[in-house]
Structure 1
Amino acid sequence: MMTGQDVVSVYETMVGITDQMLDAATASDWDRLTELEQQCAACVRQLKEHEGAQPLAGAQRERKVNAIRRMLDADRQIRDLTTPWMARLSALIGNTSTERRIARAYGV
């Protein structure tokens, strides 16, 4: 079982990771973004496995809430950056699929 300080430390580590994810998304460094997402997922698994059921109180609770807010803000910004890229990628994939179907249909 993790102590309250351990829990807060993991959340604050996740803030650092999400900040790096935002930097990667801003730079269109999709490979780095993926690596950082995996690091963040490992932190989430650690919390799920070891975070106690006992709620945090006082300053620790406030730090956890602040960390979550910061992560949500970074996540929104990351989505704002990745959504247009994903739409372009989807359109590109759709165009390629259409081109293949046309080529097969007309024997090109």
Structure 2
Amino acid sequence: MAALTHKMVAAATMSDWDGLEVLESQVAAQVALLRGNEETVVLDAGERQQKLGLIKQMLDDDRQIRDLTMPWMAQLSKLINNTGTERRLAAAYGAV
């Protein structure tokens, strides 16, 4: 799963939004699989440390992805709002 979140950072860096969406689906599937096995797996101290390190890495990747996607999301939101405003103006005053 950590490898997938790292690939997600790369996809977001390249503005590959379709690729990012595919990777998000793969991560969701991995999360479901891990949750299903979580109660049956017993980790020793070293494995718990390794798990903690991977979780920290994935959280860092998640932060980087958010930092990369938030400007794009804001731009998309602005575009959608402008399109809605244009439609309302056209409806109110007629198309030119």
TMscore range, shorter length: over 0.9
Which of residues 91, 96, 100 is equivalent to 2:83? 96
Give the Cα separation in 2 of the matches to 1:63 and 1:54: 14
Is residue 34 from structure 1 mapped to residue 21 from structure 2 by the alignment? yes
Q: What is the number of residues matched between the two proteins? A: 95
CA apart distance, 1:47 = 1.4
**Mapping 1:15-54, distance limit 5 Å:** 15-52=2-39
SS class of match (1:28): coil
CA apart distance, 1:51 = 1.5
TM-score (norm 1): 0.84
Kindly provide the CA deviation profile for residues 8-51 of structure 1, in whole angstroms up to 9, marking residues without a partner as x.
Answer: xxxxxx10000000000000000000000000000001112221
Is residue 106 from structure 1 mapped to residue 93 from structure 2 by the alignment? yes
Counterpart of 1:5? none
Displacement over 6 Å in runs of 4+: none
Unaligned stretches of 5+ residues in structure 1: 1-13
Which of residues 64, 69, 73 is equivalent to 2:60? 73
Give the Cα separation in 2 of the matches to 1:74 and 1:89: 22
TM-score (norm 2): 0.94
SS class of match (2:39): coil
| Percent identity over paired residues | 55
For the structure 1 residues 87 and 72, does the alpha-carbon distance in structure 2 shift closer, same or farther, using more than 3 Å as the test?
same
